[in-house]
Amino acid sequence: MNGHHTARPLSRRTLLGAVSGLGAAGLLSACGGVAAGSSGGGSVRTQLSWLKDVTFAGHYIADHEGYFRSEHIKGALVPGGPSVPDTVTPAVAGAADVALADFAAVIAARAQGADLVAIGAVLQTSPGGFVSLASRPVRTAKDLVGSRIGLSPGSEVLVEAILRLNRLPVRYTRVPVGSGTAALTKGQCDVMACYVTSQPLALKAAGHDVVAVTQSDLGMPDYALVMAARRSDIDKRRDDYVGYLRAVARGYRRNLDSPALGTKLTLEVYGKSLGLDPGITAAENLAQNHLVTNAYTDVHGLCAVDPEQLSAHVYPGLRARGTKTLPPVPELLDGSLIAEAHG
């Protein structure tokens, strides 16, 4: 996409929580629920949800600046990517101590018998959303009705859930697209599903005037980069996980205050081999920073998850996307560790 090497297929990562969750469930079945012992020795291995692009800048800072070390833990960062179909399977199998996933995937894993629990979330707002040209903007869910929508395979689930939640007719034309934006710029569709931290920035860099909205803007909020771990590991090594969360929160706070550092570490250290575009990487980092905070984290600290937001607003969206069984929030989310980390 315009030479932007980090453009992701739209069915990856957080855009389609329900779809990725179902995929995780199948893989968990395939691995037979095998659970190796946790790494021990103060090591907390994070299974990243994609290649080492700027998405994980706060983790890079926590590692590079010694925040993990100051908590007496080793913060290994394991890249994801096209060859890693989901992130929860490594955590369930003991190959990682923390998975960066979404709530749909964690719930699907639990339905398969995994003892995963969410302990925080980096992004308070999912970057999943839609981009349109300013000449025909999509700003509300109502604007989707009757539109030609560029969608990758399976992403119609997202559109139809948004329309149903807003009590709007499920009426639109699906235009099959890949990860590029040519269908939008050539007028083949009116709007495209996207990550607001990716495709809109590349379009702007190419000189297009665009409007981007998140799925939260359209009435279906969700979290992203949810940190999930096995309950059994947390019970054995609680101090390690509290220290991990404290270091991660420090890393993302530093990235908020000094985004140039997170961008530099991405380009020159952690994602050096990816051939990332410096300008777009910097723009992505700034765009993602807008998704890291909200009124709840202003009070409770970065990475904290609001249980009321989860039950009252995120759960209805998950149900609309096909998640049939939703566990009680206290079983899915343990907010005590991040609260202790912020102390």
Residue 343, both tokens: 């102390």
The residue type of 102 is D
Per-residue confidence at 85, pLDDT binned at 50, 70, 90?
A: confident
Determine the pLDDT at residue 257.
Answer: 98
Nearest residue to 136 (alpha-carbon basis) of 189, 173, 176: 189
Nearest residue to 221 (alpha-carbon basis) of 290, 292, 126: 126
pLDDT at 11 over 90: no
Residue 251, both tokens: 């890393």
Number of other CB atoms surrounding residue 109 within 10 Å: 27
Number of other CB atoms surrounding residue 214 within 10 Å: 21
Average pLDDT of the residues in 114-123: 98
Per-residue confidence at 18, pLDDT binned at 50, 70, 90?
A: very low
Per-residue confidence at 178, pLDDT binned at 50, 70, 90?
A: confident
pLDDT at 36 over 70: no
Nearest residue to 322 (alpha-carbon basis) of 178, 77, 156: 156
Nearest residue to 33 (alpha-carbon basis) of 98, 128, 111, 97: 111
Q: What's the rounded Cα separation, in Å, for the pair 145 and 202?
A: 26
Q: What is the DSSP letter of 222?
A: -
Per-residue confidence at 236, pLDDT binned at 50, 70, 90?
A: very high
Per-residue confidence at 37, pLDDT binned at 50, 70, 90?
A: very low
Residue 23, both tokens: 């995929």
pTM of the entire predicted model: 0.89
CATH of domain 17-126+222-342: 3.40.190.10
Determine the straight-line distance between the first and last CA of the chain, rounded to whole angstroms.
43
Average pLDDT of the residues in 230-240: 98
Determine the pLDDT at residue 223.
Answer: 98
More confident position, 30 or 123: 123
pLDDT at 173 over 60: yes
Determine the pLDDT at residue 287.
Answer: 98
CA 160 to chain centre: 20
- Residue ranges of the chain that CATH labels 3.40.190.10: 17-126+222-342, 128-214
Determine the pLDDT at residue 116.
Answer: 98
Residue 94, both tokens: 């003991």
Q: What percent of the chain has a predicted confidence (pLDDT) above 70?
A: 88
pLDDT at 310 over 60: yes
The residue type of 225 is L
Over the chain, what is the mean pLDDT?
A: 90
CATH of domain 128-214: 3.40.190.10
Determine the pLDDT at residue 181.
Answer: 95
Number of other CB atoms surrounding residue 249 within 10 Å: 23
Q: If residue 317 lies in a helix (H) or strand (E), which one and from where to where?
A: helix 315-320
Determine the pLDDT at residue 27.
Answer: 35
Determine the pLDDT at residue 179.
Answer: 78
Q: What's the rounded Cα separation, in Å, for the pair 158 and 317?
A: 9
Average pLDDT of the residues in 164-169: 98
Q: What's the rounded Cα separation, in Å, for the pair 150 and 4?
A: 19
Residue 257, both tokens: 């205050």
Residue with tokens 């021990």: 40
Residue with tokens 């903007």: 137
pLDDT at 111 over 50: yes
Q: What's the rounded Cα separation, in Å, for the pair 302 and 273?
A: 30
pLDDT at 343 over 80: yes
pLDDT at 8 over 60: no
Cα radius of gyration (the chain): 19
Per-residue confidence at 296, pLDDT binned at 50, 70, 90?
A: very high
